Every structure is written in C-alpha cells, then in structure tokens.
Chains A and B, each alone.
Chain A
Amino acid sequence: MSEETIYQRLENNGVSRRDFLKLCGTLAGAMGLAVPPLEASGLPDHLLTENKTIHKIARALETKARVPVIWLEFQDCAGCSEALTRSQSPTLIDLVLNTISVEYHETLTAAAGHQTEENKQNIMQQYAGQYVLVVEGSIPMALGGAYCTIGGRSAIEILEEAAAGAAAIISTGNCAAFGGLPKADPNPTDAKGVWELITDKPVVNIPGCPAIPEVFTGTLAHFVIFGALPELDDLNRPVTFYGKTIHDRCLRRPFYEAGKFANSFDDEGAKQGWCLYKLGCKGPTTYNACASIKWDAGLSFPVQSGHPCLGCSEPDFWDGGGFYQGQSAPLNRPAATVVGAAVGAGAVVGAAMAANNAAQKKRAVQASEE
C-alpha cells in the first residue's frame, strides 16, 4: 500500500476535480451529514474553518492516505460481502474502495493460503493501531472454538489477534453484530457477536441480513474522513442510519393508521399495498435505514415489495416470534396441556379448600348442636 493521499490516487486514476467533488457530495449524503461533528473529528484546525461539508470532505480526502482494512469472515454466509460487491451505487462503492485498501478478505482476495495469511500478518504489523477491522459472521465459543477454524486456528484466536492492533472494529451483518442465525435457539455453537468478546476497542455494529451496503460504506467513510466513529446508539449502531424505525419511514404507514391491513399475501389488501402488520411485520421495533435508503439503488425494500419486515437489524431476531405472526402476539403459545394443568391445579386446590371449609362447617354445626 502506498502512502499517497486519496485524492492523489484518484487523480492518478484519471478522476477529474469535478468528479472528485461530486463524489465528495455523494459521500456526505451517504453519511447522512448536514453538519458533521467536526470538532470531534481530530482534523487539523485549518480544516475546521471550512464552511461547506463537501469542502471539508474534499480537504480530508486530499490530505489523508487510504485506510487499510482487514476483513475477517467467521460463521457467515458471505452475504454481507455479496451485498456490498453487488451494490447498485457504483460511484459510492468505487469511492469507498478508493479511500480504503482492502488488504485481506477471504472471499475477494485473489491469492490464497499461506501467502495471504503472511500478507495479513505483515499488514497488521506495518499498520498496527491504524487499520480498520471488519468482521462478518459470528464467533463460536463452544468446544474451545472448534466449530469454526481457519488454517487450524479458531475464530476467537484470529479475531483477538486482529483486534489487538485495530484502530476500530466494524461488525457487519447481524451475525457479527449480535450472533445472527448461528445464535438462534438452541445456539449449538455458543455463537457470539464481536462486541460481546472485544471490549477494549471501539466496535460499531452494522446489523442487517445482510447489512445495507450504503450503511456500511457510509460508516466506513465517516471513519476514513473524520478519523472517528459516528455517533452510536445503545446497541453501538450509527444513529444516522439506525435512529428511526422501519415503521417511522414506511410508505405503508398511512394504511396502518387507517386500519387497512393485508390479511394474506394474495388478498385484496395485499394487492392494494395495505399495511403488513397483521402478516407479522416487525417494522415498529426495527431500527434500520431500509425504508429511506432502500436497496438496489433506491429501487425497493422488503415492505415495499410486499413482504413484512423480519427485524433483521435487531438482536435475536430469529427468536423474536414467528416471522408471519403479528408482532403484538406473545412470543410463544403455551401448550394446551400446560394450560389444562394450570386450570386443573386451580380447580383441585379450590375443591380441596371448599371440602375443608365444608368439613369445618359441619364440625361447627355438630359442636353447636351438642
């Protein structure tokens, strides 16, 4: 990796100044920035005097070198990587790929085996304390981590080694953030999210199944440009993207208010685009940017396409009740036998008390007669 600045690199690749500024604008939009928290960014003073956000971004890119990224995959499906590479926002992705330097990524790296591992070791030494560690997939802790090993080393070992020298860690997808599918009941591998295991480094969670590419790149861009992580919520998710629920921004919201619901996937309500709450939509408790950023270059998102939100950016969403069961419904339905046992127990205790009272009464009557 060279030490040239991001702008120099883009310029060498034939990107004009005009295109460069356009990309800065795109980035500002992607980060959801109106007035960025510049004071917390650690930028030099002369940059803080700039008024326009886009100029601040431009200056940052002109003066900073690319940030090395190490991307680890554990118990995952590579879906987050897939989503990122197939993002329909090529300008944004191009820019982010130009502003970062992915040094290690098991799915994307052309090289393989010991060479790649050796390269990773070198990068970790050369850029100790500077690189961003991206984690995709959960970490199994059962059987000493034996459920996921790479080159004979367990996931937790690899994670701890890479985390030690990282400037920041980004957990992409629900698995890396909160354990995801591998953690679903009964969680045979004792899967955990990164932030449960690494507590001495800043960890940003970008949950989703998969994570929205623009949310991931926007967060990464924030780190690259401002040298600091964006504002996070109590689940370590960037507030810019996870500050509102799907329900808050849903295009079907007016139908919810009006009490117009689809009752099945092919009834008149579904055809009319009515609210999917009765079909199990988890939108009211799901914080993510799907309803505003959407997918495939803003084309659509699940609720718009007629499918209820599954709540994939929330912890334990696999165990959060049936996907097609209304959200207000209790998580589990007590078995009929258990309910019967409760009724039976109540009835038996009641009958015993009544019998005892009757006997007492009888004795009292006898006593008074004697």
Chain B
Amino acid sequence: MNWTTFLQFTRGPLFQASLLIFVGGMAYRLVRVVLLGWKGDKAPAKGSKLAGVVKTYLKGFLIFPFVPWVKRTFNRNPIIYLAGGLFHLGLFSAIILGTPHMLVWKSLLGFGWPTLPLPIVDWLSAASIAAMIALLFYRRTNPVLKLISGPAEWLNWLLVFLPMVTGYIMTHHLFFQYEVLFSLHMLSVDVLLIWIPLSRISHFMFYFFSRTIHGVEFGKRGVTP
C-alpha cells in the first residue's frame, strides 16, 4: 500500500465509517442526556425565560468572550481565557471558514459559503496550535489541573492536536510529500471523529444545552447576568 491508496482509504471508507460512528454516537449521547428528564417547574416565573436564553447567548457566547475584562475567568486566570479563547476561535475559523474544510461541508450538506483567505485562517490556526501547547504546559504544571487530569484528558489533547498540526504542515507543504500529510491528517480526523462521542469533546453539543438551561433559569428568576 502506498500513500496514494492509503489516502483513498482514509478519505473514503474509513472517513465514512468514522462519520457514521460519530453521528450515531452523538445521537446516543443526546438521547441519554435528554431522557434523564428534568423536574416539572411549578413556581411562577418572575421574568421571561426566552429573554433569559437570548440574553445569556448574547452576553455569554457572542459578546462577553470578546470583552475580556468583564469575564471573571479573565481576571482570575488570563492564560486559560486567552489560550482557550484563541484555541476555539482558530479551530472553528479553520473548520468552518477555511476553503478546504468548507468543501468538505459542501460535499456533505450540498451547499457551500464564502471563505476566508488562506493567510488569515493560517495565522488563526498557528495561534490555535500555540494556544494548545500553552494549555498543555499549564495543565502539566497547575497542581489542581494535574490532579483532575487522567488518560482521557491527555488523549483529548493529543487527538485534537494531531489533526491541527498535520493540517498546518500540509497547508504549508513542509517536510513531507503532500499526500503523506493529507493521509495522516485524514487518519487523525477519522480517529478524532470516533473519539468525540466517547469523550468530553462532546461538549461542543452539550454546551448549547447547558447554556440554554442556564438562560431559562436566569430568565425565570429575573437575574439575567
């Protein structure tokens, strides 16, 4: 098997299998969480629940992250805030607004969208990778984080880091032939897709549930932050 056939395998059957495991696995996780149920709400609401949800998304997800000084996370721990923020920003810019990734979405969804120029995505990705290294260093040195980090946490870091670093090297045509890194990039993505439903990386989905429920609680009590 040469790199070209390996690439066909990682882009073809393996990717399909991983994608199906990912989709099925996330459906499983979602159903499990939803069917845990929640207690009926008998107290009269003081404020609008919907307004609470809207406000919490606006402030917590769309505005406050970009206005650092209002966030307690920033004041308490700027490294986590900056590195964590940059990591997520870079990651999602590349996955959604990078041209090659948009073409993946287009092939799966049937429609595409405008993308960012390569240099912009490139710098954001580089920042993302640097942020991940900083976060790893922090996790290795902070006594509390060290205490709560097990094999799954280190694996989370590694399996997210590998697609990012192989993708970055591949885009710059560095060190190896293009198809070698393309294959490794696809392989690492395939492994990551299988790993996500089994791991806390699934927070990309549950984050929205927890934020919605928080918003409902805030709105109900009329204490929207």
Contact = CB atoms under 8 A, between A and B. Distances in A.
B188 to A, nearest CB: 14
B32 A285 contact: no
B183 to A, nearest CB: 10
A312 to B, nearest CB: 13
Residue of B8, B15, B21 with highest tally of chain A CB at under 10 A: B8
Interface residues of A, number: 46
Given A258-B117, A331-B15, A350-B31, A325 B8 contact: no
A314 B4 contact: yes
Interface string A321-336: 1000111111111100
A354 B21 CA distance: 20
Contacts of A347: 27-28, 30-31
How big is chain B's contact interface, by range? Answer: 35 or more
Contacts of B20: 334, 338-339, 342
A326 B31 contact: no
Interface string B159-193: 00000000000000100001100100000000000
Given A351-B35, A354-B31, A328 B24 contact: no
Contacts of A334: 16, 19-20
B202 interface: no
Nearest to A256: B118
Interface string B1-45: 010110110011001100111011111111110011000000000
Interface in A294-321: 314-316, 319-321
A345 B116 CA distance: 37
A354 to B, nearest CB: 4
Contacts of A353: 32
Contacts of A350: 27-32, 35
B115 interface: yes
B68 interface: no
Interface in A241-286: 245, 247-248, 256-261, 277-278, 284-285
A194 to B, nearest CB: 17
Chain B at the A interface: SS class? helix
A31 B108 CA distance: 44
Nearest to B173: A248
A343 interface: yes
A259 B5 contact: no
Contacts of A351: 31, 35
Interface stretch (B82-90, B98-106, B136-144, B215-223): B98-106
Residue of B5, B32, B117 with highest tally of chain A CB at under 10 A: B32
A90 interface: no
B99 A277 contact: yes
A346 interface: yes
A224 B12 CA distance: 42
A332 B99 contact: no
Given A278-B99, A339-B20, A354 B28 contact: no
B108 A343 contact: no
A257 B16 CA distance: 29
Given A278-B99, A350-B35, A332 B16 contact: yes
A36 B16 CA distance: 47
Contacts of B12: 330-332
Given A333-B107, A342-B20, 4 more contacts: A245-B178, A258-B118, A321-B11, A331-B8
Interface of B: 2, 4-5, 7-8, 11-12, 15-16, 19-21, 23-32, 35-36, 99-101, 103-104, 106-108, 115-121, 173, 178-179, 182
Interface of A: 234-235, 245, 247-248, 256-261, 277-278, 284-285, 314-316, 319-321, 325-334, 338-339, 342-347, 349-351, 353-355, 358
